[in-house]
Amino acid sequence: MASEMEEKFRGKARFLQELMALQNRLMELAHLAAMALEKSVRAVLWRDRELAREVIVGDVAVNSLEEAIDRECVHLIALFQPVAGDLRKLMAVARIIIELERIGDSATNIAEEVLTLTQLPPRAYHPQLEFMAQSVQEMIRHSLEAYSRSNAHLARQVCLADDDIDALDQAIIQDLLLEMAEAPRAIVPSQSQINIVRNLERVGDHATNIAEQVVYMVEGESIRHRCQG
């Protein structure tokens, strides 16, 4: 009996060690995705083609790391067959890395719009575009902080912030559509701005999805589609 208990203890210790290593790799992926978004936003504001290309090229690293973490999640589930809270922690990793990879994709999409905009005569951006980008980046920071601290309350605050991002998305796009209707020369640059805004709104959704996973991981409650403060 003692040897059986010792074996279970060693197995649990090994699982926790492997899980911690996996969580560290998740945070590495989070850093790559967050930096990609930050660079893509700077590339927009500074009209920096080289920075935009850097984001596009860097997406390969984001994709590769996401795939590696996903394989390790499958391996740990098969090897240790975790249950209850341990399983929720592992499933949270598996789901959050998908959201991070998609944030990287949105950053790449934004960077690609920079390549379009820098070929056109400069036009002023919508006055709320930079604020929206900053707000979305703050959502990402808070969702990742909520994950690293296992803070369900902070995660729920991220969910609430998504309503503001959705409202900004609609307001900015409406303004840009009106500008396109009034000035034909504004059609192409305004369409690029709309694409940027839509990608920022998607990033807000991904940050919200991460926050929802944190609540599930910590409390065992699924709040998808009904995140509340």
- Please give the C-alpha separations between residue 39 and each of 44, 65, 109, in angstroms, as whole numbers: 9, 19, 12
Residue 227 lies in a domain: no
Residue 225 lies in a domain: no
In the chain, the number of structural domains is 1
Residue 224 lies in a domain: no
Residue 22 lies in a domain: yes
Instruction: Classify each residue of 95-104 as buried b or exposed e, where b means 16 or more C-beta atoms within 10 Å of its C-beta.
Output: bbbbbbbbbb
Q: Which residue has the tokens 């850093």?
A: 31
What's the domain range around 201?
Answer: 2-219
Residue 229 lies in a domain: no
Compute mean pLDDT per 10 residues along the chain, 229 residues long, and list them: 71 90 97 98 97 98 98 94 92 97 98 96 95 98 97 96 96 97 93 98 98 94 64
Residue 55 lies in a domain: yes
Give CA–CA dist 122/106, Å, rounded.
23
Whole-number pLDDT of residue 222: 76
Q: 146 is written with which tokens?
A: 């909520």
Residue 149 makes CB contacts below 8 A (sequence gap 6+) with none
Residue 142 lies in a domain: yes
CATH number of the domain that 37 lies in?
1.20.58.220
Whole-number pLDDT of residue 165: 97
Residue 111 lies in a domain: yes
